[in-house]
Amino acid sequence: MSEWNVLKALDTFHATATGLDGIPAWLLRLDAPVFALPLAQLLNLFVSTSTIPAQWKQASISPVPKTACPTEHYDFRPLSITPVLSRVSERLIVRHFLYPAFLSPPSSLTFFDQYAFRPTGSTTASLVSILASVTGLLASNNYVVVALDFSRAFDTAFNPAYEDGAARSPRHCL
């Protein structure tokens, strides 16, 4: 990745929560010209050695209520806050390595049914594809069986500190 790519990514990075490393996004954006070259060199080293620093893999996970008055642990969704440098790096790697691979894949690979991590991928596109497949199968078959496995789709990290209910309930729900 070039210094220019990193500079552009840092300069357009939106204000966001600070991760466990304590480096705020506004500092990286404000001093993007200073950080661009060293960060580009680090990212190129990480890509060439297929490594990521352990500090960039750590996250702070906080429960966020899904309902107005949560009462059970499943009324929360996890909010994972990773270091800002990790998020910038992820954005750069996806934009410069994954998107080009999906847009012009090698002939030995097909991504016709891949919807995640694509510039045009979405859950809507995935559902339209499933609907088109089922409709096509119903044209020549009396029955179509669709099996969906959601067992891991909604896994959450439960924090026992919120077990008593008082810490997680908004005041108006008490």
Nearest to 47 by CA among 111, 103, 95, 102: 95
3-state secondary structure the chain: CCHHHHHHHHHCCCCCCCCCCCCCHHHHHHCHHHHHHHHHHHHHHHHHHCCCCHHHHCCEEEEEECCCCCCCHHHEEEEEECCHHHHHHHHHHHHHHHHHHHHCCCCCCCCCCCCCCCCCCCHHHHHHHHHHHHHHHHHHCCCCCCCCCCCCCCCCCCCHHHCCCCCCCCHHHC
Domain count, the chain: 1
Residue type, 156: T
Domain coverage including residue 58: 3-173
User: What is the largest distance, in Å, between two alpha-carbon atoms of the chain?
Assistant: 65
Alpha carbons 90 and 19: distance in angstroms, whole number = 14
pLDDT of residue 153: 62
Is-contact 59 20, C-beta < 8 A? yes
pLDDT of res. 101: 73
CA dist., res. 88 & res. 12, Å (int): 10
The pLDDT, as a whole number, for residue 125 is 81
pLDDT (tens digit, 0 to 9) for every residue of the chain, 174 residues total?
899 999 999 998 888 888 888 889 899 999 999 999 999 999 999 989 989 888 888 888 888 898 888 888 888 888 888 899 998 998 898 888 877 777 776 777 666 677 776 666 777 888 888 888 899 999 999 888 888 776 666 655 444 444 444 444 444 555
Token duo for residue 57 = 């893999």
Specify whether the CB–CB gap between 28 and 16 falls below 8 A: no
